[in-house]
Copies of this chain bind each other. A is one copy, B any other.
């Protein structure tokens, strides 16, 4: 993680192995781009048969290049790549972008070539971007490196982009460009054989010129490392990401084109754990990046609204409220001041409608007053440019007053940008983030508030319970390994849970039919009796489970029937039958490279029909556990509905954290399901559970 990517992002000289005179070729386009973007260093086209390309002297081999070279593109067919990597090593090159496709993504042969190239690069300490990638861009005027075959030439700016998919990267780059927004650095690393997205994120994180980072990834090779590194970055500056593969079909398409494990774990969970702002829409993401890279982060979710047109403020409010923002009223004092400064037909409230005929003075006063209202954390503005208003001076007041006010502002700027080019320029120079629609401006503001929530959230405590008996769990799991059983018996499952002090209903396994009654009496009726045999998996389907057994007579009858049905070798799992006030489910599932995903939800229809469950990645802090509990739709049932007491959330948090620790301590536990737990009064207690190792 400490590798320095400077030779890649700040190359002093660039070579292009596979440079071509053919205009419609990557080997030509990259030269064109570097020239057009005014790359601040020597540029060496390499082509064994040509002496000049686009007016530059071409060399027959990279080894013929006279000067030092930091970075080389390789755009020749895959079979020739490893040897050229070797040559680059000999030349002392420090970074290579392999643009060529046809490696890992095309099967075993390509994988071998990719591995070979990487091995040779490692030998020389060369870092590789790609293969099957676009490359990088650095808009820093001291560098001007357009080492990329895309077509958008970004202006300098504060947003850096990293995209696994070059297509999406190109779209996002073009979107910023179309909005007139500059960009800092860009990278698309394709197959990612060496330089990883995680490294690039860290590099951007340490770059003072980058204020916001945009990320597109469909999978992660090492999610755990990514989470660790990204978390460090999101504490300082926002990372914004598209959640790709959020549907099964989408994940399938992703697997097909990147050949990875996309969708095996929701990228959303990884992003959430890392404190990354997620989006389903590229446009919303771009808008949020613009706002976050030009304005301070709002300290809360209360918005003051200024508008010079009615309808768009209705749409804005609908969207703001929909995103969870609040629109508190104006103070009386503010209203008094505004009565003096506003036009007669203005509507003095929040939203403050200055009306279409409002001029610079009205806008200035409106913004000053709203900025000074302590109950507003940010300002949302609708500004349509009426042809009968001095809009340039309005824009000047907006820019100056916003800057002085120190609170974040977003603007739904409704105009023809050609006709009002002066006004547009003033707003741009004032770094007022402008959006074409009320709802997009509102969502950009909501994203800023979301980032404030992430940045100011308490991380919480990852509790290490010292009262657990790891040895007991180890020996249960070892026994299962020895006996080659993947599904643990009920006794083993409850043994593990008890070892980690997860509250379970009192239970005992007995082999003898006569013991059933004495055990049941000792535990206390009513009880549950289960046929305890690894051969019977779905016990309730085959009569292997009997619940709410009220007395000895009934218990005997049940046990006899089970003996008859499942054979003499059967054991009986006898457990206290508990009343159920609220069913809960807690689950854990191991995911390669991540740890475990923990699930929480209410039981029955809430899980099965409403899919009303929350997930997070281990290790789970108390804050995260509490957030899971509060985030489900049916949370009011947990809080207590219609005067009922609700469940003991503290206990639920503890159980989630104990299960999280169990998963961390024993990664070999593949799946664990506490389904259900019963919450009764202050108690929560597991009444059925399953563990697969």
Residues in A lying within 8 Å of B, measured CB to CB: 24-26, 28-29, 32, 101-102, 106, 149-152, 163-171, 174-175, 177-178, 216, 218, 242-251, 253-254, 256-258, 262, 280-283, 309-315, 317-322, 327, 345, 347, 349, 351, 353, 356, 382, 384-390, 414-416, 419-420, 436-440, 605, 608-610, 633-634, 636-637, 641-642
Are A170 and B384 CB-contacts (below 8 A) given A151-B416, A152-B416, A416-B177?
yes
Q: Which residues of B contact A321 (CB under 8 A)?
A: 247-250
Q: Which residues of B contact A436 (CB under 8 A)?
A: 171, 174-175, 178, 283
CB distance from A635 to the nearest CB of B (A): 8
Contacting residue for A315 out of B177, B282, B318, B416, CB 8 A:
B282
Bound Cα distance A149, B385 (Å): 11
Contact sample, A vs B, 14 pairs, CB 8 Å cutoff: A24-B387, A101-B345, A151-B387, A151-B420, A165-B314, A170-B309, A245-B318, A254-B314, A281-B437, A281-B439, A282-B439, A283-B440, A608-B642, A610-B610
User: Could you say which of A164, A178, A382, A386 has the most chain B C-beta atoms within 10 Å of its C-beta?
Assistant: A386
Count this chain's copies in the assembly. 2
Bound Cα distance A26, B387 (Å): 8
Are A258 and B310 CB-contacts (below 8 A) given A250-B317, A641-B608?
yes
User: Could you say which of A256, A310, A312, A605 has the most chain B C-beta atoms within 10 Å of its C-beta?
Assistant: A310
Q: Which residues of B contact A152 (CB under 8 A)?
A: 416
CB distance from A111 to the nearest CB of B (A): 15
Chain B residue nearest to A286 (CB atoms) is B437
What are the 8 A-B residue pairs with the smallest beta carbon separation, nearest first? A165-B311, A167-B309, A257-B310, A168-B311, A250-B318, A247-B321, A250-B317, A29-B387
Q: Which residues of B contact A257 (CB under 8 A)?
A: 310-311, 313-314, 347, 353
Q: Is the Cβ of B167 less than 8 Å from the Cβ of A414?
A: yes
Q: Is the Cβ of B151 less than 8 Å from the Cβ of A106?
A: no
Bound Cα distance A519, B262 (Å): 68
Contacting residue for A314 out of B25, B166, B245, B319, CB 8 A:
B245
Are A312 and B24 CB-contacts (below 8 A) given A253-B317, A319-B280, A416-B152?
no
CB distance from A285 to the nearest CB of B (A): 10
Q: Which residues of B contact A168 (CB under 8 A)?
A: 309, 311-312, 315
Q: Is the Cβ of B310 less than 8 Å from the Cβ of A388?
A: no
Q: Which residues of B contact A101 (CB under 8 A)?
A: 345
CB distance from A181 to the nearest CB of B (A): 14
Q: Is the Cβ of A605 less than 8 Å from the Cβ of B254?
A: no
Q: Is the Cβ of B641 less than 8 Å from the Cβ of A249?
A: no
Are A310 and B416 CB-contacts (below 8 A) given A29-B387, A282-B439, A388-B149?
no
CB distance from A392 to the nearest CB of B (A): 12
Bound Cα distance A356, B386 (Å): 45
Q: Which residues of B contact A248 (CB under 8 A)?
A: 321
Q: Is the Cβ of A166 less than 8 Å from the Cβ of B283?
A: no
Can you add 8 more A-B contacts, CB < 8 Å, to A246-B318, A253-B313, A257-B314? Answer: A26-B388, A32-B387, A106-B345, A170-B414, A245-B318, A249-B327, A280-B319, A609-B641
Are A242 and B165 CB-contacts (below 8 A) given A151-B416, A349-B256?
no
Q: Is the Cβ of B387 less than 8 Å from the Cβ of A437?
A: no
CB distance from A538 to the nearest CB of B (A): 14
Bound Cα distance A250, B322 (Å): 10
Are A437 and B254 CB-contacts (below 8 A) given A24-B388, A163-B311?
no
CB distance from A263 to the nearest CB of B (A): 10
Chain B residue nearest to A24 (CB atoms) is B388
CB distance from A383 to the nearest CB of B (A): 10
Q: Is the Cβ of A29 less than 8 Å from the Cβ of B388?
A: yes
Bound Cα distance A242, B386 (Å): 23
Q: Is the Cβ of A311 less than 8 Å from the Cβ of B245?
A: no
Bound Cα distance A170, B636 (Å): 43
Q: Is the Cβ of B242 less than 8 Å from the Cβ of A282?
A: no
